[in-house]
Amino acid sequence: MTSVVSATNLGLTFKTNDGDVVALSDVNLTIEKGEFVSFIGPSGCGKTTFLRTIADLERPTSGSLTINGQAPERARKDRAYGYVFQAPALYPWRTIEKNVALPLEIMGYTSAQQAERVKRTMDLVNLAGFEKKYPWQLSGGMQQRASIARALSFDADLLLMDEPFGALDEIVRDHLNSELLKLWDRTGKTICFVTHSIPEAVYLSTKIVVMSPRPGRVTDVIESDLPGERPLDIRETPEFLAIAARVRDGLRAGHSYEEAL
């Protein structure tokens, strides 16, 4: 069986007016079906770039990358993944249900299928009852849940999430984190999750990829042995703290503060 994501010696260099910027350098990583993988690192370490490369929003300049054994562009055209951005990016002129139905319209689902899937995914993210609201009538947390519903609506097996809860306050974020874990448990999807919060990464993941900047590269890959069932207070257990300490060590090793901006 092929890996969901497989990167070999992957590199990406941006050409800018100030010269070349190496965003990714020599990244080797495989992600298997059903894993929950977090990417963690300081700003500029390439974690978002890596996610965008998987999504075919950026083109790698060296090495190889396959999604389900195919080129990223092919995977994108096959609608192999759902992407959740840092901002909800809901279209303000559409109601929540029409926003969730947007990818379904583009992919040519019938209206009966659309209605059925919208209802199912809205239930999945606990937004039932808000179908007719407009995005700007909802709180930030609810907007982000709607954008997750939108990414789930067409049932791609891979979910790419780029700091989806970064702009939310900690209480809402905790809540959405535990919801996300339940959702992952129920759907069995593969999730790639970019964050810069250590507790969030450790709490959610089966695998934590620690990255460092200049050039962006992977410094450590930590397999988490935390149990599948994770109540919020697991974050006070010694096992949790041990993994968190290892992540912190990895970040410190890869990060030279004097060149930080």
Partner 1 sequence: MSQLQYFLALVAGGLATAALAYSFVTPFEQALLLKAFLALGCLSLIRFFVPLGLWVDGALALLGAVAVLTSIGAFVPPLPFFWMAVVVAWLFAWLFVERLSKSLAPRLSDNAGLGLLIPVVFGAALLVIWEVVTRGANVPPVLLPAPSAIGAQLANSAPILWADFVQTFIKSVLPGFAIGCLSGLVVAILVDRSPFLKAGLLPIGNFMSALPIIGIAPIMVMWFGFDWQSKAAVVVAMTFFPMLVNTVAGLNASSSIERDLMRTYAADYWQTLLKLRLPAAGPFIFNALKINSTLALIGAIVAEFFGTPVVGMGFRISTGVGRLAIDLVWAEIAVAAIAGSAFYGVIALIERGVTFWHPSVRGGRA
Query: Which residues contact partner 1 by CB under 8 A?
Result: 52, 55-57, 76-77, 79, 81-83, 85-87, 89, 91-93, 102-103, 105-107, 134, 136
E strand or H helix that includes residue 191: strand 190-195
Rounded CA-CA distance 247/6 in Å is 22
Tell me what percent of the chain is helix, strand and coil, each rounded to the nearest 5: 40, 25, 35
Would you say 103 or 254 has its CB closer to partner 1?
Answer: 103
Residue 197 exposed, middle or buried by CB count within 10 Å (0-12, 13-18, 19+): middle
| Amino acid symbol at 146 | A
Would you say 46 or 250 has its CB closer to partner 1?
Answer: 46
Would you say 135 or 254 has its CB closer to partner 1?
Answer: 135
Would you say 130 or 199 has its CB closer to partner 1?
Answer: 130
In the block, tokens 């080797």 appear at 28
Least separation in angstroms between residue 87's CB and partner 1 is 6
Would you say 52 or 214 has its CB closer to partner 1?
Answer: 52
Least separation in angstroms between residue 48's CB and partner 1 is 11
Least separation in angstroms between residue 115's CB and partner 1 is 18
Number of neighbouring beta carbons within 10 Å of residue 40: 26
Rounded CA-CA distance 231/211 in Å is 27
